[in-house]
Amino acid sequence: MNGPRIVSFLPAATEMVFALGLGDQLVGVSHECDFPPAAKTRPVVVRPALPLEKMTLREIDIAVAERIGRGQNLYHVDERRLQELKPDLILSQDLCRVCAPSGNDLTVAVRSLDPEPEILWMSPHTLEDIFQNIRDLGAATGRLDEAEEFVKSSRGRLRLGAPASRRPIAERQELAGGTPAVPGTSRRPKVFCMEWADPIYCAGHWVPEMVEFAGGIDGLARRGADSVRITWDDVRNYAPEVLVLSPCGFDLAGALKQLPLLQELPGWMELPAVRAGKVFCVDANAYFARPGPRVVDGTELLAHLLHPETFDWTGPVNAFQRVA
């Protein structure tokens, strides 16, 4: 094998590895690394400490908060398997303890490795941070030229919008002004991207930028910052015209299962998004929650959901579902 032996603790980092043509050097992954399909053939070195598949959303939220409050880990690292794999480079993060092993977890895991591998920390807050992570991976693996080309292509797609239509999305300076975000559309709709349904969490980090590039505005989101709990009254008062349910850690099927929790809330039927039939469940794992290459696909998906008359969606049919 030419090049470093790579272990990825992050699904997003695993996608970057394959995007840069480094798949043959990937020797270990986390339990969540499922894209591309070849990632699922690699040995798993990280698993969750909680039985998530047996828990409700609220139980997960409470249990995670309790473990963090007690200083306990949310993930188990298979130290024996890690020693067997002898990685030269480990890809991890120090952004969200809920998403993957963070600083303390990894420090303990690598303590017994000899020689000690290089650790590439990926802790993005914005789209630009994600692009920089791709460059950093390229620099660490001798693929910087490929990384720069990938970033250039991604930037071009953000400017051009959905490939099938090839109509330009407005530049960011135009999005910040009062002019229509997308040529041929009247205005930017009020969007609410919901990252958790019980309790309700708003969107954070790079997602608000995705909404802006797609020609909308999410007034409840926290750009470049953590997503946080908000109240149902906050949502009702905001009165979103488009509601996108994109629960972190779930695919489309998982999002659809959470929808009944919202439909039981008071005033659900009065939301402008519900009245207009513009409530969508999406595959958050693929297109929103993971700070990897497919956030650009997610932006194109949002452009289609917000402005279907202007932007086509030619991606997988199970990327989203409109809720009647």
Res. 181: pLDDT tops 50: no
pLDDT at 164: 34
- Are the C-beta atoms of residues 196 and 261 closer than 8 Å to each other? no
Span 91-111, average pLDDT:
64
Angle at 131 between CA 226 and CA 225, to 5 degrees: 10
Hey, where are the domains in the chain? 6-153, 189-323
217-233: pLDDT as tens digits: 999 999 999 999 999 99
- Give the Cα separation of 196 and 273 in Å (integer): 18
pLDDT at 79: 87
**What is the percent of the chain with per-residue pLDDT over 70, rounded to a whole number?**
85
- Enter the pTM of the model: 0.86
What is the per-residue burial (b if ≥16 Cβ within 10 Å, else e) of 272-284? ebbeeebbbbbbb
Place of tokens 């598949």: 53
Res. 180: pLDDT tops 60: no
Per-residue tokens: 208: 């608000």
- Are the C-beta atoms of residues 18 and 6 closer than 8 Å to each other? no
Task: Determine the longest span between alpha carbons in the chain, in angstroms.
Answer: 61
Q: Give the other-Cβ count within 10 Å of 135's Cβ.
A: 15
pLDDT at 177: 35
pLDDT at 225: 95
Out of 41-50, 101-110, 197-206, the most confident range is 197-206
pLDDT at 220: 98
pLDDT at 178: 37
- Superfamily of 189-323 according to CATH: Nitrogenase molybdenum iron protein domain (3.40.50.1980)
- Are the C-beta atoms of residues 222 and 228 closer than 8 Å to each other? yes
290 vs 67, more confident: 290
Span 33-38, average pLDDT:
96
Q: Write down the mean pLDDT value for the chain.
A: 87
Span 245-269, average pLDDT:
95
Span 7-12, average pLDDT:
95
pLDDT band at 72 (very low <50, low <70, confident <90, very high): low
Tell me if domain 6-153 and domain 189-323 are identical in fold.
yes
Res. 35: pLDDT tops 90: yes
Domain with residues 6-153, CATH architecture: 3-Layer(aba) Sandwich (3.40)
180 vs 198, more confident: 198
Span 121-127, average pLDDT:
93
